[in-house]
Structure 1
């Protein structure tokens, strides 16, 4: 029996382009910060403070008293101000404005940073054209994410709305996760393997990553519907492990309960957490059985620990009725788990496969 390297071109590319790896890891870090800032923007109620989408001229904030008065007048014409924040002082408006402006500004910077790196890679032909095409597709995904962000904001400016639509917030968060994961995967793929290992647990790693995305989406629905501010007990919800169907499916039409009914939205997120933890433990047990001491088993151990910590933090966040620090920590740790899941799957696919001589 012999051991053959499955991806020799990957190893060769990785050894020659440390600059590309640094650019991708820096992009991933910026996106992670962006996700945390976005969470703070949501939790401080700042996301609808800027009522226009001006990709270029919007980079400049108000610089004079007259400019501030104009921006404030635009916000006072919005449903959120009229229905929720009537009488808000200019100083309070500036607080929420700076959060949203900072969020958008960071998004612009990430776009320019990624675009600059892509042009260097493409024009200097630092990677094969297929890999450059993948990077181009990732850039399109980033642009689409920005567009979804504005569609999300626009949904909160509709008559009668005081917040963005939960489904659109979930799309915004999920697409951020997709771009984040693609950058992590590409950077990991270019990073040389530290040691040879058998490829084991590929199916489990793929299923685990899929479940991580599902749980993030369910968390987006919780955030969008503000379901975390209700049923603030654990492990019971309103005195029961599972609320009655009359509570879970109180709304009409039936499907809207899955995005707008706070009871069902929170219940689904709880069940998702239990399933994710069970899957992580099952995956870990399988790798320890067939490949104890391997890199895959160590990564699975780390993922299981992170999922357990994230579950505990989620419970704390719920019991404390979502204070800002806990809400941000919960969102940040969730994406840290996602990053680890992406690294785990990428490394599993890059590993060495035993082949018959």
Structure 2
């Protein structure tokens, strides 16, 4: 007597494994969403000037905020010893301090939550044999990168606690944001690769390495955006398309700092100009990619994703221009940062699914 060999086109032997991997994929996407939330809260922490409100790194005991008025006074006194208070917030009230403290505490608490959401399900899936081999090693690598990110975050904060400093070092902020983006990209890459597409009817065309190049360009642009944020370059030259009255500022202004290499971090004119240039490059490359794919098969799934990517890239550039023209209000700065994560996530999915 014949036994049914499949359920909806999937062999019976693969159904439990497929369902298990679906659970793993959902867990990883949940982690990715938490990383995006972490980036958003981190952006709000920066834009509200809250990042230096907690002057110590206590990974475990720091999870408990001040619970009494006396404890709040002690924390406030620690903050009053740093230069940001003396040079920027002198005279701040305790209630105002509680506001900036809440943002930084929430940012760190969210980091702890991500650690738990990563570690506990990982152990459960591993013990049940669902995660093993290369997938297990990849996830462990992402976990190690997450631990490193926590250390980078404290190194970044410590740079702002140095005498005379009122904010964190721009290059360390850029590194912190870039590593968070790399973690997000890795999570999306792994999760999208776990989907069973053996029965998919979508039409794909070969793309070469263009989708992966696009991911690299977006990560580079996010790093440049971190430099813009860290140096507050978005608060200057708030015109577009001209910058300081010119489409391309003169070299004498772009490289005024000596030695010349330091202009890429310390000269707000060059920092913002580089961010603009790479935005143009990403949009141009994305639209070239659409044209290239549509020449092969305009009705393919690949062409659809490429068009979506181009639309997202153009939208992100438009949002960046609005943010610049408005001199970075909180809502626009956050929207620009979070939307960058959406653009990156879509680019990673496109690169993962496309045929090289």
TM range (shorter): over 0.9
Cα offset for 1:13? 5.7
Alignment of 1:140-219 (within 5 A): 140-193=144-197, 194-219=200-225
Which is further off, 287-296 or 90-99? 287-296
Given that 1:11 and 1:190 are in contact with CA atoms closer than 8 Å, whether structure 2 keeps it comes out as no
Q: Partner of 2:163: helix, strand, or coil?
A: coil
Given that 2:202 and 2:300 are in contact with CA atoms closer than 8 Å, whether structure 1 keeps it comes out as no
Given that 1:156 and 1:164 are in contact with CA atoms closer than 8 Å, whether structure 2 keeps it comes out as yes
Q: Partner of 1:88: helix, strand, or coil?
A: coil
Alignment match, 2:280: 274
Cα offset for 1:11? 11
The alignment status of 1:344 with 2:350, answered yes or no, reads: yes
Which of 311, 315, 319 lines up with 1:309 in the alignment?
315
Given that 2:205 and 2:354 are in contact with CA atoms closer than 8 Å, whether structure 1 keeps it comes out as yes
Cα offset for 1:15? 5.1
Partners of 1:235 and 1:162 lie apart in 2 by 31
Q: Which stretches in structure 1 are left out of the alignment for 5+ residues? A: 1-9, 352-357
Partners of 2:76 and 2:260 lie apart in 1 by 39
Which of 257, 260, 264 lines up with 2:270 in the alignment?
264
Cα-to-partner distance string for 1:61-103 (whole Å, 9 max, x where unaligned)? 0000000000000000011111111111111111100000000
Partners of 1:12 and 1:223 lie apart in 2 by 47
Which is further off, 296-305 or 13-22? 13-22
Cα-to-partner distance string for 1:178-225 (whole Å, 9 max, x where unaligned)? 111111111100112233434511311111111011111111110010
Partners of 1:212 and 1:12 lie apart in 2 by 37
Given that 1:13 and 1:190 are in contact with CA atoms closer than 8 Å, whether structure 2 keeps it comes out as no
Task: From the superposition, tell whether residues 300 and 13 of structure 1 become closer, same or farther in structure 2 (CA, over 3 Å).
Answer: farther
The alignment status of 1:322 with 2:322, answered yes or no, reads: no
Alignment match, 1:127: 131
Which of 47, 50, 56 lines up with 1:46 in the alignment?
50
Q: Partner of 1:317: helix, strand, or coil?
A: helix
Greater relative contact order, per chain length (Cα 8 Å cut-off, separation 6+): 1
Structure 1 length-normalised TM: 0.93
Partners of 2:251 and 2:88 lie apart in 1 by 31
Alignment match, 2:26: 22
Task: From the superposition, tell whether residues 11 and 333 of structure 1 become closer, same or farther in structure 2 (CA, over 3 Å).
Answer: farther
Alignment match, 2:99: 95
Q: Partner of 1:240: helix, strand, or coil?
A: coil
Q: Which stretches in structure 2 are left out of the alignment for 5+ residues? A: 1-13
Partners of 1:215 and 1:111 lie apart in 2 by 27
Structure 2 length-normalised TM: 0.93
Given that 1:13 and 1:127 are in contact with CA atoms closer than 8 Å, whether structure 2 keeps it comes out as no
Cα-to-partner distance string for 1:313-340 (whole Å, 9 max, x where unaligned)? 1000000000000000000111100000
Output the aligned Cα RMSD: 1.5
Task: From the superposition, tell whether residues 301 and 13 of structure 1 become closer, same or farther in structure 2 (CA, over 3 Å).
Answer: farther
Given that 2:142 and 2:186 are in contact with CA atoms closer than 8 Å, whether structure 1 keeps it comes out as yes
Task: From the superposition, tell whether residues 56 and 201 of structure 1 become closer, same or farther in structure 2 (CA, over 3 Å).
Answer: same
Runs of 4+ in 1 over 6 A off after TM superposition: none
